[in-house]
Amino acid sequence: DQQVKQNSPSLSVQEGRISILNCDYTNSMFDYFLWYKKYPAEGPTFLISISSIKDKNEDGRFTVFLNKSAKHLSLHIVPSQPGDSAVYFCAASGLSISNFGNEKLTFGTGTRLTIIP
Amino acid sequence: DTEVTQTPKHLVMGMTNKKSLKCEQHMGHRAMYWYKQKAKKPPELMFVYSYEKLSINESVPSRFSPECPNSSLLNLHLHALQPEDSALYLCASSQDRGTYNEQFFGPGTRLTVL
């Protein structure tokens, strides 16, 4: 049962334009969401996060939007740069899900973003 | 120092071998994690240590044995692995487990079991 879904396995965007990566989740107990970027042969790098009390969080070129009623979040990258080409994972956790806090991250299957120069 | 380091980068072992993966962080984080990632799949949580005590074991087979000697170090001892255990093994750390905080990942150890 895939509780976090990234339905687009790949996305190509022209350099300088906006990249929009989408993520859907099914578990209403999730209350913290993160985006990670992963280059080949490297570990995931944390990009940005959002808790369920917010609907938007911005950090430089990266903005994450959360729509709780639709159980949907998106990552906007603007402007897109060649170095943004990587696999992007959405992840979710919930304080209420386990007795142990937010350690258990459930990852989506990833979206490969390619920025075209 | 904002890095999680892992050694070795690559490891090839036979099914009868015993080997260990090592992970280190010097960010003062009190929670450390082991993940397994197969090709084209998301990372899957294996173990969580919090304040040097094992707090989550995601029903991992006993041929994988974690150890947390101190707050900066995390080991994963491997014994009698199967070829299907070949994967990228990722270590991560976070500030603690009680609040919203991001996990920082190391570069991983690429393990091949022959």
Q: Tell me the pLDDT of chain B averaged across its residues.
A: 91
Any idea how long chain A is? 117
Q: What does the block give as tokens for A100?
A: 């142990």
Task: State residue B58's pLDDT score.
Answer: 87
pLDDT digits (tens, 9 = 90+) for B65-79: 999 999 899 999 999
Residues B68-110 pLDDT 10s = 999 899 999 999 999 999 999 999 999 876 567 789 999 999 9
Mutate to test the interface with A, among B103, B109, B112 (most CBs of A within 10 A): B103
Average pLDDT over residues A43-56: 93
| pLDDT value of residue B101 | 74
Q: For strands A62-67 and A72-77, give the pairing.
A: antiparallel
Give Cβ neighbours of residue B62 (< 8 Å, ≥ 6 apart).
Answer: none
User: What stretch of H or E contains A112?
Assistant: strand A111-116
Separation in Å, CA of A29 to nearest CA in chain B? 14
Put simply, whether B48 touches A (Cβ < 8 Å) is yes
Nearest-Cα residue of chain B relative to residue A31: B100
Position A96 pLDDT exceeds 70: no
